[in-house]
Structure 1
C-alpha cells in the first residue's frame, strides 16, 4: 500500500470542496493522487473549474460521461476498482453527494481502504432525492466523517456513527469562495449583453422541478412571474434545458438564458444579484456567506443552517412571486449571521484530521 491520499472528484459541486483540501495537504507535503471520474465531462461543467480554482490537473481522468443513476455509478465503480488496485492508496477522500462519491466509497470499502467523507452528515430526509441515498450510504461506509455544521454532527450521532470518527471542520466550499472573491468577474452581466439594471439569478435542475411536464410548466410560469418584477438570468444546466425551453421559458423578454458558467463568472454573477432562486445545495451556502437573499425551490433542504444562520428560505413555486417581491422590497441585508467555522480555514482543519488519521494508522 502506498502513502498517498487519493481524492475522487467527478462533478461540478466537488471541485470547490476539494481545492482547499488538496492545497492544505500539499502544504503538509502529503503525497496525493487526484482522480476525475468525468461524471461532468464538458468544459463548462468541469474543466473550467480546474482553471478557475487553480486545482492541479487530474492525475487520472476516467471519462465515464453521463448515464442513468445505475449505469453511471456502475461505470465509475468498475473504473475506480482498477485505479484503487493499482495505486493502493492509504486513504480515499470523497466529496459531497454525487454518484462519484458513493461509487468511490463502495469500492474503497470492499477493498478495505480507509475512506474520508468531506461534507458528511447533511440530511434532507427526502428519499426521493438520489443525493440523499448517496449521502447516507457514504457516511455509513466512511472511517472519517468531516462535517460542515453542528446539525450534521447531530445526524451522524443519531445514526450511530462513533464519536471518534466525527469531526466538525467547517465548509471548504467557503474557503474557495473567500479565497477567490477578489477574482470574481464583475462585468459578467455586461459580457452577457444584459441591460444595466437589477437582476435575479436562477439555477434550476432538480428532478422535482424539471422532469415531469406538469412541474416544468408550473416552474416556467413561476419564472415568468418573477421576470415580471426583475430580470432573471439563468445559467442553464444541461439537465432539463430542453424541457424548459420547450415549455416556453424563453418566451418572456425578461428571461436571459446562458450556458453554464465557470466558477469565477458564476460567482461574480451571484455576488451582484438582488436575489437568487435555486434548487441547488451549494448555492444556498454561497449566498449565505455573500449576503444574497436566496429562495430555494424545494420542499426541504439538507442545509438548514443556511436558513437559521444565513439568507436562505424555502419556497414553493406558487409562493415564489410574492417571495421575490418581498425580497426586492427588503433589499440585500446589511448584516447577517454566518455559520460557525465558515471562515476560510476548513481545508486546513480537514488536512490536520487526515494527517493525524494517517499517522495513527501507521
Structure 2
C-alpha cells in the first residue's frame, strides 16, 4: 500500500508525527508532501526536527496569500506530484487550505481520499476552517473520525457509511511528548523575557481571523489579557504580529510578555509549567485538556466539546462583556478536580489509522 500524506501547517505536522512513526513499523510506503502553507520556520521546519518526522519527499513552497490564492497554488503545484506518484490513498489532515486543496486535487484524479480528523464541526460558517473541513468530508472516500461526537456529526450529514472511529492521533503524540518532558529529556521551554518559569504564569495564543482582523476586537482581547493579575506568556503567531502592527495594537504591556511560537516539545513543557491556558486555537484547547490544565477559549464555540465537561475548558466570546471581575476569576481559576476521562482515545490511534487504510483498500 502506498499512501501520500499532504501537510502544510503546524497542527498537521504534529498529527503527521505519529502517523509517520506508525508507517515506519510496517512495509507500506509513505510519501510526504509539505505544501509550505506555513512558511515561517517557527511554525513548520522546526517540527520535522523536533518530532522526529522524516523530511518531506516534496516541498511545494506555496507560502502566504489569500485563501483563494493559497488554495489554488496548492492545487496547481500538487497535481503533477499526485499524477506521478499514483498512491493508493491520499491522506489529508485537519481543516487548512492544504487539506481542501489536497482532497480536491486527488478527487479530480480519481485517487481515493482519506480525511484524518473528520467530522469536527464548530457550526460557525464564518470560519475558513469550517468551510475546509465540511467540503473535505463530503469529498473524501474514507472519514477517520477522532471522537463519537464527530461520528454523530458525519451521520447527521449522511456520511455514516464512509465513517470510521479511529481515535485522535494528537493524543498519541501529546502523551508521548508529555512523558519525555516529565522524564527530563527536554530542556526548559524558551518563555518570553520577563516570565519566570518558577512562578505562576498563563500561556496564551491568539491567531484566528475573527479575533485578529477587526482592530477593535483585537484591541479588546489584548486589553483583557493585559489586565490579568498573573503574567501572560503570549506566544505570538506571525498573523497576530502583522495584524497588531497594522492596527496599532501594542501587545507587550500590562501582564503580557510576547514570545515566539515554540517547538512542540517546548510547547508541551510550557503548558505543563503553566497554571492555565488562554487561546483561540483548537489544538491548544485539546492539549491543555490532555495535560490537565484549565483552558479559557476566546471564541463562542469549540469543535472539541468534550473539553467543556467538568469545567476544564470555558468559552468566553468577549471578556469585556463578561466584566473584569468575572473574567479575571475565570481566566485564573484553578484546575478542576473532575477527571478528564479519555474521549479522544488511548494513544494508539495512528496504528489504527494505518490498519484501517489497509483494510479499506483491500
TM-score by length of 2: 0.93
- Cα distance in 2, alignment partners of residues 264 and 238 from structure 1: 20
Cα shift readout 1:301-357 (whole Å, capped 9, x = no counterpart): 1111221377111113223752442453x5223552233352211111111101112
- Cα distance in 2, alignment partners of residues 190 and 203 from structure 1: 13
Q: Which residue of 2 aligns with 1:280?
A: 281
Match status 1:176 vs 2:173: yes
217-226 or 240-249, larger mean C-alpha shift? 240-249
Partner of residue 74 from structure 1, selected from 57, 72, 75:
72
Paired residues for 1:1-362 under 5 Å: 3-163=1-161, 165-184=162-181, 185=186, 187-188=188-189, 192=193, 194-195=195-196, 196-226=198-228, 229-244=229-244, 246-252=248-254, 254-308=255-309, 311-315=312-316, 316-318=318-320, 319=322, 321=324, 322-326=326-330, 328=332, 330-358=333-361, 360=362
- Cα distance in 1, alignment partners of residues 177 and 296 from structure 2: 24
Please tell me whether the aligned partners of residues 204 and 279 of structure 1 are also in contact (alpha carbons under 8 angstroms): yes
C-alpha change, 1:354 and 1:78, in structure 2 (3 Å) is: same
- Cα distance in 2, alignment partners of residues 19 and 89 from structure 1: 20
- The runs of at least 4 aligned residues of structure 1 exceeding 4 Å deviation read 189-193
Q: Aligned pairs, how many?
A: 352
TM-score by length of 1: 0.93
- Cα distance in 1, alignment partners of residues 249 and 353 from structure 2: 44
Aligned-residue RMSD, C-alpha: 1.8
Please tell me whether the aligned partners of residues 191 and 233 of structure 2 are also in contact (alpha carbons under 8 angstroms): no
- Cα distance in 2, alignment partners of residues 326 and 300 from structure 1: 17
Secondary structure of the corresponding residue to residue 13 of structure 1 = helix
C-alpha change, 1:320 and 1:76, in structure 2 (3 Å) is: farther
C-alpha change, 1:192 and 1:268, in structure 2 (3 Å) is: farther
233-242 or 69-78, larger mean C-alpha shift? 233-242
Instruction: Give 1:192 deviation, angstroms.
Output: 4.7
Secondary structure of the corresponding residue to residue 251 of structure 1 = coil
- Cα distance in 2, alignment partners of residues 66 and 59 from structure 1: 21
